[in-house]
Amino acid sequence: MKVLITGITGFVGSHLADYCLSKGAEVFGIKRWRSRTENIDHIIEKIHLLEGDIRDATSTSEVLGKVRPDYIFHLAAQSFVPTSWKAPAETLTTNIIGELNIFEAMRELGLSARIQIAGSSEEYGMVYENEVPITENNPLRPLSPYGVSKVTQDLLGYQYNQSYGMNIIRTRAFNHEGPKRGEVFVSSNFAKQIVEIEKGLKKPVLKVGNLEAKRDFTDVRDVVRAYWLVLEKGEPGEVYNIASGKAIKIKELLDMLLKMTDVKIKVEQDPARMRPSDVPILLGDSSKLRERTGWKPEISFEKTLKDTLDYWRERV
């Protein structure tokens, strides 16, 4: 079983590579020439890394032709929502054209690999309190260029399945956290600030953005298990939510983290961390995935946050 992971150097890609190795798969990954490999250094001898950039059709086709994988997990993306307002064209190009290059390369090479497309709960965007829990049939009302890019990736996946019968399975993962999470994302950012304060490297003031948003959190290790199950048991052409089914305010996430430290910390809102529009509530219904694959999350959110704090305690 040959598995190709785009975005293998990232947060989710690195956890997914661990999981695929544990399933006995031969793991291939795409990395850009300047990609940092710290997330996968522990398995670097066990995987194959190929240089490539999904924005470039030639490069993408060359990698796919060399690997000829059975499974493709398409994770590579500009993944940070705020950056999508600062660099909208780059976000749309990487996320949409990057995926298009993969699909066209697969057609050109005659590859029938099963491919997972990492969509996002951000596709639902503006959701009203009476529209939760969110099923796959909720309207898509993205509130950021990132959300628009993920809707487009999702619809492109649908269209290529319908037009050419390609084995494309789309996922819409709600927020997922854990060790190795990029330091700009909320749980990782708050955890890192706490550790910097614990070590006396920062004044005891923790900067935050919008604490009122509600999000549905799952551990990244549960999410990569869902990605694997989706390719093993999912129906091509279909889309599956991946969610815990519980939503908490970001304020509650912060309170959980603050309970895990002995230092006294003042919380301060930083206007630069507020978004032009923030998705108010994301609470997912993943019954479709659970019924099809038997998946359910196993790791508590307390453990996810504790592991994230410990990750930073070892690094800061």
SS (H, E, C) 122-190: HHCECCCHHHCCECCCCCCECCCHHHHHHHHHHHHHHHHHHHHCCCEEEEEECCEECCCCCCCCHHHHH
Cis, peptide link before residue 133, omega less than 30° from 0: yes
C-beta nearest to ligand A2R: residue: 10
Using rule CB under 6 A, residue 84 touches ligand GDD: no
Query: Which residue bears the tokens 């029938």?
Result: 112
**From ligand GDD, ligand A2R, none, which one binds at residue 210 (CB under 5 to 8 Å depending on kind)?**
ligand GDD
Q: Which of 202, 273, 292, 306 binds ligand GDD (CB under 6 A)?
A: 273
Binder of residue 215, out of ligand GDD, ligand A2R, none (CB less than 5 to 8 A by kind): ligand GDD
Number of residues that bind ligand GDD (CB under 6 A): 22
User: Quick one: which of 114, 180, 215, 225 contacts ligand GDD (CB under 6 A)?
Assistant: 215
- Kindly state whether residue 248 participates in binding ligand GDD, applying the rule CB under 6 A: no
Separation between Cα atoms, residue 217 and residue 83, nearest integer Å: 21
CA nearest to 147, candidates 245, 222, 244, 78: 78
Establish if 251 lies at the interface with ligand GDD (CB under 6 A): no
Near ligand GDD in 95-154, by CB under 6 A? 120-122
Least distance in Å: CB of 130 to ligand A2R?
A: 26
Could you list the residues that contact ligand A2R (CB under 6 A)? 6-7, 9-13, 30, 32, 35-36, 53-55, 75-77, 79, 94, 98, 118, 120, 173, 182
Beta-strand (E) ranges in the chain?
2-6, 26-31, 48-51, 71-74, 114-120, 168-173, 176-177, 205-208, 214-215, 218-219, 239-242, 248-249, 266-269
Rank residues 89 and 272 by Cβ distance to ligand GDD and give the closer one.
272
Residues 186 and 252: beta-carbon distance below 8 Å = no
Nearest residue to 144 via CA among 276, 283, 271: 276
C-beta closer to ligand GDD: residue 213 or 226: 213
Cβ-based nearer residue to ligand GDD, 40 or 206: 206
Minimum CB distance to ligand GDD, residue 168 (Å): 18
Among 141, 249, 275, 306, binds ligand GDD (CB under 6 A): 275
- 20 contacts 116 by C-beta, under 8 angstroms: no
CB distance 123 to 142 below 8 Å:
yes
C-beta closer to ligand A2R: residue 25 or 117: 117
Q: Which of ligand GDD, ligand A2R, none interacts with 53 (beta carbon under 5 to 8 A by kind)?
A: ligand A2R
Q: Which H or E run includes 243?
A: none
The answer to whether the CB of 81 falls within 8 A of the CB of 51 is no
Residues that bind ligand GDD (CB under 6 A): 79, 81, 120-122, 173-175, 184-186, 189, 208-211, 213, 215, 250, 273, 275, 278
